[in-house]
Amino acid sequence: MPNAEIIAIGSELLTPFRSDTNSLWLTGELNALGITVRQKSIVGDDEQCLEESLRDALKRSPIIISTGGLGPTEDDITRKVFARVLKRPLVLHHDILDRIRHLFESRGMKMSSNNERQALIPRDAEPMTNHHGTAPGILIHEGDCLIAMLPGPPREMKPMFTSYVRPVLEPLAGNLRMRTRMLRVSGMGESQVDSLISPIYMRYNNPVTTILFNNTEVELHFTASAPTEGEAEKLLDEVCFKVEEALGENIFSHRGETLEEIIGLRLTVKGYTIATAESCTGGLIAKRLTDVPGSSKYFLEGVVAYSNEAKTRLLDVPEALIAEHGAVSPEVAEAMAVGIKERSGATFGVSVTGIAGPDGGTEEKPVGLVYVGLASDFHVKHRKFILPGDRERIRFLTSQAALDLVRRNYLL
């Protein structure tokens, strides 16, 4: 099985603030072709360091993929250094220059002379068109070695890899094909999941099972290798079927979809609509639901009502109810859900009220206390949560709890 090596370029990747994440996606793509990643190197915008890394990589790896350093500024050194190490002078490509100039003009801007650099391509190299930015990528066959220089921004890097690099790698790949599958689990902890499914996955060396806990949910990753993709899929089917049986409706996603995507699919299939009334999540639930393309078909409207007055004016929550139970209470959560359902005419109203912190907690109602409400024409209910973490985590976990309540009640 051939090896690849990834070089991530950029001084920001050697600071405490930024890490290379492109290589995770690239590794997934390479693995799918049966190519393993042998090593990753991360270097700054430093010509000598990059030169050494490239020379070392050329000695050991038949596939070298770099990301970053193709921008228009002085410290974007990838083109220059690769050209020097590979002894291929840079040549100005007028068609690329025209493309970049045109790109600027179409946005009503003037191309800066800096950008001319991006039209320089090493001799006998193949430029890769960037459909999402100015920097073209560069593909070079150097003896038996394939070198691909990709831009750093993921939205430029990913489509360029898919369009240009993958087709060239496919014939280089070995006889084994790898397939992966991800199941996502809500409402259970990592060790609870593991104790249920380890008797299953421990019996298999292939697929390999990895359990990851990403702060808000448990992800199960399965990777199978076989001579054909079909055979690898069959290996996945066998283990996943048993795991799905063990975890039941706690699995909300069978192909890696997000919770909001799953809810969108199920709402669409059933012809249902939804509306949101949020306090402590401040629009996050509406935002997540509308992240999904086509969500205007089932998402009717959302209200963010922080103050008591707004809860009454926008959601018809009776003033007396708030006075009696407090804004963070099961009664108000249910009234908010009913209010948004009635006003919007949606099939469901979902609501949250809680204390995300860092301030506002009391002994009786601590930071992390959250009530989620759900109303349809036939039922009204709520659930109480005491959620851990900082403001950001509490808000995300609250949105997850609200969406999962909808899923488990009406969308299984």
| Binders in 332-361 for a second copy, by CB under 8 A | 343-344, 357-360
Q: Does 1 bind a second copy (CB under 8 A)?
A: no
Name the token pair of 181. Answer: 């599958």
* Count of CA atoms in the C-beta half-sphere (13 A) of 333: 25
Does residue 303 touch a second copy according to CB under 8 A? yes
Cα–Cα distance measured from residue 133 to residue 107, given in angstroms and rounded to the nearest whole number:
12
Does 204 engage in binding with a second copy (CB under 8 A)? no
Candidates 39, 253, 268, 308: give the one binding a second copy (CB under 8 A).
39
Structure tokens at 42: 């991360």
Does 363 help bind a second copy (rule: CB under 8 A)? no
CB of 363 to a second copy, least distance (A): 15
Which of 1, 12, 89, 175 binds a second copy (CB under 8 A)? It is 12
From 244-252, 318-326, 391-399, 403-411, span contacting a second copy (CB under 8 A): 391-399
Q: Please state, in angstroms and as integers, the Cα–Cα distance from residue 188 to each residue in 36, 209, 247, 379, 401, following that order.
A: 32, 18, 10, 25, 12
The DSSP result for 199-221, as a single string, is HHHTT-SSSEEEEEE-SS-EEEE
Among 47, 58, 62, 72, binds a second copy (CB under 8 A): 72
Near a second copy by CB under 8 A: residue from 295, 312, 376, 398: 295
Q: Is 53 left (phi over 0), alpha (psi -120 to 50) or beta?
A: alpha
**Is 88 within 8 Å of 125 (Cβ atoms)?**
yes
Residue 383 contacts a second copy per CB under 8 A = no
Binding to a second copy, residues 246-275 (CB under 8 A): none
List binders of a second copy among 120-149 (CB under 8 A): 132
Scanning 165-173, 226-234, 235-243, 309-317 for contacts with a second copy by CB under 8 A, the matching segment is 309-317
Residue 141 or 313: the one with the smaller Cβ distance to a second copy is: 313
Nearest CA among 6, 19, 124, 14 for reference residue 54: 6
Instruction: Using the minimum distance from each CB to a second copy, give the nearer residue, 142 or 219.
Output: 219
> What is the 8-class DSSP label of residue 112?
P
The helix/strand/coil state of 144 is: coil
Assess 392 for contact with a second copy (CB under 8 A). Answer: yes
Out of 1, 91, 92, 212, the only residue in the binding site for a second copy (CB under 8 A) is 212
Q: Which is nearer to a second copy, 88 or 287 (CB)?
A: 287
Binding test (CB under 8 A) with a second copy, winner from 115, 130, 312, 376: 115
Gap between the Cα atoms of 7 and 20, Å rounded: 10
Q: Hey, which bits of 61-176 come out as E strands?
A: 63-67, 90-92, 120-122, 126-128, 137-142, 145-150
Which residue from 263, 266, 350, 271 is spatially nearest to 303, judged by alpha carbons? 350
Q: Does 362 bind a second copy (CB under 8 A)?
A: no
391 binds a second copy (CB under 8 A): yes
Q: Which of 160, 305, 328, 335 binds a second copy (CB under 8 A)?
A: 305
18 near a second copy (CB under 8 A): yes
Contacts of 313 (CB under 8 A, 6+ apart): none
For residue 49, count other CB atoms closer than 10 A to its CB: 18
Of residues 151-170, which lie at the interface with a second copy (CB under 8 A)?
Answer: 153, 155
Q: Is 310 in the site for a second copy (CB under 8 A)?
A: yes
